[in-house]
A and B are shown apart, each in its own frame.
Chain A
Amino acid sequence: MIDLSPAEIEALGLSLRIAFWATLCSLPPGIAVAWLLARRDFPGKAMFDALVHLPLVVPPVVVGYVLLVVLGRTGPVGRWLFETFGLTLGFSWRGAAVAAAVMAFPLMVRAIRLSLEAVDQRLEDAARTLGAGPVSVFLTVTLPLTAPGLVAGAILGFARSLGEFGATITFVSNIPGETRTLPIALYTFTQTPDGEMAALRLVLISAAVAFAALAASEIIARRVRQRIGAAS
């Protein structure tokens, strides 16, 4: 095990914290959007679908810039947040979490949606005939059977958040201890003379964290599949 420098620990801790909150906060809306896309037909669904997937295809800098304009202290939503809750997103780690969440959202929705579409709706019908109302059916049948997708979506979102760079640096800049996540720290070192060794160390740390996340997802997904009795 290599000894980590305080700056490296700081960047790693910040990255994990940002990715954690980004994932946690985007999970409920992710489930809601995935459910809408998987189960409901409504006018403008194609547009909505495209909008959700937009961060996947536009340059991350564009997303970061839009966030800056809308959520920055002088932006319409940003000013309201500051005046109402005293909350500042621009140039803070919270803003970094928002940027990570927006960028990871489409991946998470995709995974959950696929899983929702695979749920046998005949089981939901059975639950309805057994006296379960819509909310009860969702909580006792639909959601548990979607669990593998929830886990996959969450891990995917978490890993994507760890790697988020473009939107973050555009929206919240590069502030040590506040918004300098692993990828941003790595970028900083590559711009510094004689920074190659430090950059390489961060590459290894990033790779190790990503690998651990994927391994964890595989293990959790297998457990969940067993729990819901799917043939694994």
Chain B
Amino acid sequence: MIRIDVTRKLAHFKLDATFEADSAGITALFGRSGAGKTSIVNMLAGLLRPDSGCIEIDGRVLFDHKAGINLPPHKRRLGYVFQESRLFPHYTVRGNLTYGMNRRDEAARKIDFDTVVDVLGIGHLLERRPRALSGGEKQRVALGRALLTSPELLLMDEPLASLDAPRKQEVLPLIEALRDRFNVPIVYVTHSMDEIVRLADTLVLIDEGKVAAVGPIEELTSRLDLRPLTGRYEAGSVIAARIAGHDSEYALSLLEFAGGTFRVPRIDLPVGARLRVRIRARDVSLAVKRPEGFSDLNVIPGTVEQIGGSVEDASAPDLDLRLDIGSPLWVRISRRAFHDLGLAEGSSVFAVIKGTSIDRLSLSRLKTGDEQSDLTNQQGTPT
């Protein structure tokens, strides 16, 4: 369990963050730039001293203002992957990887050098200097360097933010692999919803230095009051699903979720694999009658559960509606269409989703152990 209750005066606002999260899987700190995410992680690492409060990880007190405890960074046993890899230029890749490892007692080294090098695919780089590496390679080495300290918690501060899209795709699966392979809990700072959907188990929403909400990602993204934070322009729903089968004749896969089945372009995962899909609100259309002679494959019945925004606001062309299709699903339609279709809360509708619009990047494999909790999470009616 990670417990944080800290305050600190920063340049533009006062940080006052309190939250608890399981120290298992990936906990994502999400918020706008400058919301205070990095400050929180720096306080965890001991690089920034809170003005007051306490920080505790699995019962170990790292900081307690009242008791006068403030462990220095080198005694906290946390790994830290920075946005800019921060490799030591005067060491080789091997020297960087072993820098922290050699500072750990041999008995406490749970993570094997060769395995890490293998998983990260950096064996051919070991004798090189950091300046001879690409951005993606640098970040892979930085991941390995932090991991090899056998940390009790791994902190990652926007580790993909300085990479271009192809490099992101190179490094992102490795972070998943680290989570699954080495079983190190991770606190992950990002302002990218794609990364959250793909990686996070628990979401901590940070706004103006305060914790706005903590919970499973499916739940927080479906909450209307959090929409300003979870992203209006990228608005979408996150739904946990399972591969129910493949349709080899048409190269499709069937994704079973709490309210039915989606057909999507074939995904190369075995039947039974758990994953999470993100569906953007603008990729969903509504019909009041079941449409026929229509090219979209996914037509799913549901009811209008909540209306986000004012139906009479003449300056807003669009409205976001939350449907209940067994899971919460956000739909963006024009205000005009809302009136023409005569919709209201409780109306029965059909959600029409184009299979190819289901965000492939966001298809994230979930750990098998999470099956039960994920299903129950998104069946509950969020308020």
A residues with CB within 8 A of B? 120, 122-123, 125-133, 136, 140-141, 144-145, 227-231
Most B C-beta atoms less than 10 A away, residue of A125, A141, A231? A125
Indicate whether A123 sits within 8 Å of B79 (C-beta atoms), given known contacts A131-B104, A132-B74, A132-B103.
no
Q: Does B131 contact A (CB under 8 A)?
A: yes
Query: Nearest Cβ distance between residue A216 and chain B, in whole angstroms?
Result: 22
CB–CB A126/B90 < 8 A: no
The complex places the Cα of A40 from the Cα of B47 at a distance, in Å, of 17
Determine if A128 and B90 form an interchain contact, defined as CB atoms under 8 angstroms apart: no
Contact B74 A128 (CB under 8 A): yes
Write the chain B residue with the least CB distance to A227.
B90
Given A128-B74, A130-B149, also A145-B103 (CB < 8 A): no
**Given the complex, which residues of A lie within 8 Å of B45, measured CB to CB?**
129
Partner of A131, one of B88, B100, B155: B100
B72 to chain A, nearest CB (A): 7
Question: B131 contacts A229, CB within 8 Å?
Answer: yes
| Contact of A122 with B90 in the complex, beta carbons under 8 Å | no
Is B227 an interface residue when CB atoms closer than 8 A count as contact?
no
Q: Which residues of B contact A230 (CB under 8 A)?
A: 89
Among all A-B residue pairs, the 6 with the closest Cβ atoms: A130-B100, A229-B89, A131-B103, A128-B73, A228-B90, A129-B80
B88: contacting residue among A127, A133, A136, A227, CB under 8 A: A127
Question: Is there contact, CB below 8 Å, between A133 and B47?
Answer: no
A133 touches B74 (CB 8 A): yes
Q: Which residue of A lies closest to B48 (CB)?
A: A125
Contact A145 to B100, CB < 8 A, known contacts A129-B80, A229-B129:
no
Is the CB of B235 closer than 8 A to any CB of chain A?
no
User: With A130-B100, A131-B104 given, is the CB distance from A125 to B89 under 8 Å?
Assistant: no
Q: A229-B130, A229-B131 are in contact. Are A129 and B88 (CB under 8 A)?
A: no
Q: Which residues of B contact A (CB under 8 A)?
A: 45-47, 72-74, 76-80, 82, 84, 86, 88-90, 99-100, 103-104, 129-131, 145-146, 149, 155
* B90 close to A129 (CB less than 8 A): no
Cβ contact of A130, chosen from B103, B129, B130, cutoff 8 A: B103
Contacts of B130 in A (CB 8 A): 229
**Do A129 and B73 have beta carbons less than 8 Å apart?**
yes
B103 touches A231 (CB 8 A): no
Contact partner, B72, options A122, A130, A133, Cβ 8 Å: A133
How far does the alpha carbon of A131 sit from the alpha carbon of B148 in the complex, in Å? 11
Which residue on chain A has the smallest CB distance to residue B104? A131
Chain B residue at minimal CB-CB distance from A231 = B131
26 A-B residue pairs with Cβ-Cβ distance under 8 Å, sorted by A, are A122-B84, A125-B73, A125-B86, A126-B82, A126-B86, A126-B88, A128-B46, A128-B73, A128-B74, A129-B45, A129-B73, A129-B74, A129-B76, A129-B78, A130-B74, A130-B103, A130-B146, A131-B74, A131-B104, A132-B99, A133-B74, A136-B74, A145-B89, A227-B90, A228-B89, A229-B89
Q: Which residues of A contact B76 (CB under 8 A)?
A: 129
Interface contact B89-A122, CB-CB below 8 Å = no
In the complex, what distance in Å separates the CA atom of A129 from the CA atom of B157? 13
Hey, which chain A residues are within 8 Å of B146, CB to CB? Answer: 129-130
**Which chain A residue has the least Cβ–Cβ distance from B130?**
A229
Instruction: Name the A residues within 8 Å of B88 (CB-CB).
Output: 123, 126-127, 141
Shortest CB–CB separation between residue A130 and chain B, in angstroms? 3
Query: How far apart sit A132 and B99, CA to CA, in the bound complex (Å)?
Result: 9
Nearest-Cβ distance from residue A136 to partner chain B, whole angstroms: 8
Interface centre among B72, B73, B149 (most CB of A within 10 A): B73
Q: Which of B47, B89, B104 is within 8 Å of A128, CB to CB?
A: B47
The one of A125, A132, A140 that contacts B47, using a Cβ cutoff of 8 Å: A125
CB closest chain-B residue, reference A125: B47
CB distance from A129 to the nearest CB of B (A): 4
Q: How far is the CA of A140 from the CA of B149 in the complex (A)?
A: 17
Least CB distance, A5 to chain B, in whole angstroms: 46
Contacts of A141 in B (CB 8 A): 88
Q: Most B CB atoms within 10 A — which of A122, A129, A132, A228? A: A129
